[in-house]
Structure 1
Amino acid sequence: MNYWEERYQKGETGWDAGSITTPIKEYIDQLTDKNLKILIPGAGNGYEFDYLIENGFQNVSVVDIAETPLNNIKIRKPEFASHLIHSDFFALDMTFDLILEQTFFCALPPELRPQYVEKMASLLNPKGKLAGLLFDFPLTSEGPPFGGSETEYLNRFTDKFTIKTLEKAHNSIKPRENKELFFIFEVK
């Protein structure tokens, strides 16, 4: 059993906010094109997926390496079971207009960060966006989550992405206050 599946099986899901977080919700609320092809990687219990579907976005996919959270989403949204991908993110071979990031980057071992950037760029259509939240606290070897900083993100993403927004999240949920950066990166 993989690390993440085991965490779900044991109920060790401290990262699970229980609902969509405010910064992601407010970002989705300003999207006008309901036909966007959207991916949520490492979505966990997929509250962002639910919110998107409930707000008229029908072309949304979730990929997770753990089966339990995908089953949890399937119970809530059985008619969208075909949108749930049980796979390693790095094995995906599709393209999207928008990828929503919420705790996935900082859950990966730091040595996978260069591959993450490459993979994200390859998954996005021209002018596609990677948007969401990245943690803003010192990188640690004890995780997940592993930290990161604005400087690291600028250094990592600038070759493949145009930095549209990278700023302290002003509307984080209480446990993550002052520990998140909201960002929008557009693939070059």
Structure 2
Amino acid sequence: MMTIDDGMEQMRNWEDRWQTGNTQWDHGEPSPALVSLVNGEETKHLVPSNGIGLVPGCGAGYDVQFLATPSRHMIGLDMSKTALDVCIRKHPNAKASNYEFVLGDFFKYSPPEHGYDLAYDYTFLCALPPFMRQDWAHRYAEIIKPGGVLICLMFPLEEKEGGPPYSLSVEIYKELLSSTFELIHLKDAVGHESRLGREKISVWKRI
């Protein structure tokens, strides 16, 4: 039986991908679906306008940069040292713009004393071996404060064998999160063209 340590060893393989430039998931910008949610007149109120936010598996940091505002400090977290080096190179003015990048393990990295106000999960759950999904959900429940928000851009919503990315569904997200989060928004995502029809944008409020 695999353990969480076995799963994290699999996750460390992402360092190899960054070192070899095997980063086909990197579109060079935040997802249009996230931009639409945060800036949309009917949805922007769903996203906390201040506090501290987290983007685990932040990659090259585009989402971190986009979500950061003068009143909302964002932290990009990644286990890959090469990914972190890319972030630092691409975002030389991060500190002045109220965001930062940290090398660390999502399951062990210490949250703020009172928890996060916001977290954004995209191409992170689907990168984890399926046996780690309950740990993923429990960790978010631990680190997001009551009333805080978890944005999940659900991907890939399709039937497929193996991974990563591992196949997901709306039902899987509901099974994982509904005991500790309230689903307050769910909509088909208009994101990157190559992923159309395989994504939904969702917002979950910590109970």
- How far apart, CA to CA, are the structure 1 residues paired with 2:203 and 2:149? 7
Asked if 1:52 corresponds to 2:67, the answer is: yes
The code of the aligned residue for 1:90 comes to F
Asked if 1:173 corresponds to 2:188, the answer is: no
- How far apart, CA to CA, are the structure 2 residues paired with 1:158 and 1:92? 24
The code of the aligned residue for 1:91 comes to K
Identify the residue that residue 94 of structure 2 maps to in structure 1. 80
Residues 25 and 48 in structure 1, CA contact (< 8 A), matched pair in contact too: no
Matches within 5 A, 1:31-180: 34-53=49-68, 55-56=69-70, 58-80=72-94, 83-94=100-111, 95-135=115-155, 136-138=157-159, 140=161, 142-169=162-189, 171-180=190-199
- TM-score of the aligned structures, taking structure 1 as reference length: 0.90
- How far apart, CA to CA, are the structure 1 residues paired with 2:60 and 2:121? 14
- How far apart, CA to CA, are the structure 1 residues paired with 2:121 and 2:105? 16
With 126-135 and 72-81 compared, the bigger mean Cα shift is at: 72-81
Q: Which runs of 5+ in 1 are unaligned?
A: none
Residues 107 and 146 in structure 1, CA contact (< 8 A), matched pair in contact too: yes
Query: Secondary structure of the equivalent of 1:78?
Result: coil
Cα RMSD (Å): 2.0
- Which of 22, 25, 48 is the matching residue for 2:35? 25
Residues 167 and 181 in structure 1, CA contact (< 8 A), matched pair in contact too: yes
> How many Å apart are 1:72 and its aligned residue?
1.3
How many corresponding residue pairs?
185
Per-residue CA deviations over 1:24-58 (Å, capped at 9, x if unaligned) read 112232267542311111010111112234x5455
Q: 1:45 to 1:62 in 2, by over 3 A?
A: same
With 58-67 and 81-90 compared, the bigger mean Cα shift is at: 81-90
Asked if 1:7 corresponds to 2:17, the answer is: yes
Q: Which runs of 5+ in 2 are unaligned?
A: 1-8
- How far apart, CA to CA, are the structure 2 residues paired with 1:26 and 1:132? 14
- How far apart, CA to CA, are the structure 2 residues paired with 1:80 and 1:173? 25
